[in-house]
Amino acid sequence: MKVLLVNGSPHPRGCTYTALKIVEEALNNEGIETEIFQVGIKPMTGCIACMKCAEDGKCVFKDKVNEFAELAKDADGFVFGSPVHYAAASGSMTSFMDRLFYSTYVSGQRLFRLKPGAAIASARRAGTTATLDQLNKYMTWGEMPVVSSQYWNMVHGRTPEDVMKDEEGVQIMRVLGKNMAWVLKCKEAGLKAGIALPEEEARSLTDFIR
């Protein structure tokens, strides 16, 4: 089983990465394979609502979104991490998540459905719960079981060294990794025991005007 961990920070080895590494280590200790995916620093446009993804099966922009969607096909779980930028996920992470979830869903792919996911946020001081709320919404929109830890998934600091001093944050990440491994194993055991995934229902879209 494999979990993809997304670093939505412009810093490839910064605070968000440090938190993801702790989750990763806990997953590895439970025998789960992992890969950290960097959203990076190249310009990451938002969704332009062109709907080309419905025809092409992928986003019209050739960037990290389609790259990640390919990897996601074979992944069993996901951790989406972002630094807090103005009490929200980073701009790059927001654009990445919008286009990733929209283009894959609209093109009929179900890369995330019923695969466990978790969000983590890294901040110097504040805005973590708003960021987690934002990131959790992609998962609850996409029928993903959201994995929790023993507090909200946040670390504090301006540097990786600061993060490692945040004893509670470090513990939250470690427990999150263990809990995600457990959920993955439960799902696998359930499938083996004949507990099939629930069938997908076609969405009823009532736009409040009809």
Ligand X SMILES: Cc1cc2nc3c(=O)[nH]c(=O)nc-3n(C[C@H](O)[C@H](O)[C@H](O)COP(=O)(O)O)c2cc1C
| Pair of tokens at residue 55 | 């025809």
**CA nearest neighbour of 142 among 103, 174, 177, 93:** 103
Residue with tokens 């944050």: 169
According to the binding rule CB under 6 A, does residue 22 interact with ligand X?
Answer: no
According to the binding rule CB under 6 A, does residue 87 interact with ligand X?
Answer: yes
State phi, psi for 200 to the nearest 5 degrees: -75, 140
> How far apart are CB 129 and ligand X at their closest, in Å?
11
According to the binding rule CB under 6 A, does residue 123 interact with ligand X?
Answer: yes
According to the binding rule CB under 6 A, does residue 83 interact with ligand X?
Answer: yes
According to the binding rule CB under 6 A, does residue 117 interact with ligand X?
Answer: no
CB-nearer residue toward ligand X: 90 or 103: 90
> How far apart are CB 44 and ligand X at their closest, in Å?
14
Distances (CA, A) of 162 to 8, 95, 126, 157, 169: 19, 28, 15, 5, 10
Of 117, 157, 169, 177, the residue at the interface with ligand X (CB under 6 A) is 157
DSSP reduced 3-state for 26: helix
The residue ranges that bind ligand X (CB under 6 A) are 9, 11, 14-16, 83-87, 122-127, 157-158
